[in-house]
Structure 1
Amino acid sequence: MANDDLEIPKVHFDQNGELLIIVSESSSKDDFDFFQGKSNIRNKKLKKRFANCTEWIEFPSTQEMYKILNGIGNIDNFLTTFDGEPFEGMTVRLFNPRTKLWSIYWSDSNTGVLDKPVVGSFENKIGHFYSKDVFEGKDVLQVFRWDARDSKNPVWSQAMSDDKGKTWEWNWYMYMSK
């Protein structure tokens, strides 16, 4: 799969076990410019997580992103259909000019709440964004990866780890085209 050739940077924790996010020096408010406008997406989502599953569900979607807050943020709308029902997701991304870190928040038409953000930055057109989360009652680490090396066909992917980042399971890929 595209971008599996990329390594996930080592996850760091402070002495209290809190996740430490290492910022890239090149991180900027323009990191997501490649994603502006409308994209057609081919999604590939693992049918079941943390179950040694090898079955993938594939489905189409669209997404449209625009900048907000004088360029230090952006919003996108993700539209698809699950089991014949319309589904809408929304992402809010905010760049902190002081820390040079992005915080990415997700909500959807099923929950109506903003998830905890994944936080990170881009380096050489590849972004890694992390959070601690809970999946089916167990603590996990989550990473979102944006691979924008091909700005016309970026790839977003998500992985989770249930062993503090020693191993990762990729569970969703989004192959975008303009």
Structure 2
Amino acid sequence: MSGYFTGLHWRKRSHVFFSRLEPVIRSWLFDTGSLTARLIDHCDGGFSVKVLSVKRQVPTADEIMALGLIPGKLALIRQVILYCDDRPLVYARTVIPLSSLRGALRGLVLLGNKPLGAVLFADKSMRRKPLEVTLLKKGHPCYGWTQHKGSEPVWGRRSVFTLKGKDLLVSEFFLPGLFS
């Protein structure tokens, strides 16, 4: 079975209407630094990671395309919520091709509730491809991933990271509580 189609419309930065984005949303969406470090600073010590799942499964069709994977191949998919105290701020989904888990990156399977960003940005060999953004509206099949109970749209971003010559895709969806 190949990955299912999510219908998410990922756009490059140059295709986003900046005038329609509130400055606070824009600053989070297009920050190319470590989201983990920024959240830790933002939370003033109350940052935590809740792991929703870590399992081998078939990525979605757009994840397959972003990583250049062969359709139907399994990948390790890690889904987490990043919290500030008890407030959920970010839903993050990481897709790691099984071939990327060999060698130096096999430890990514054992992250537990440690933030992936701390690993990525600590490695001098890490490279990040350009960010893409999307707007996820209530009623969309992927809206439930975020575990957001409200009806507000949720902005998301994603990029492919290359670590020690291996690719992984990180998608982050900014829950409305982050902007309040």
Q: TM-score range by the shorter chain?
A: 0.3 to 0.5
Q: Structure with the greater relative contact order (CA < 8 A, sep ≥ 6): 1 or 2? A: 2
Structure with the higher strand share, 1 or 2 = 1
TM (norm. structure 1) is 0.33
Structure with the largest fraction of helix:
2
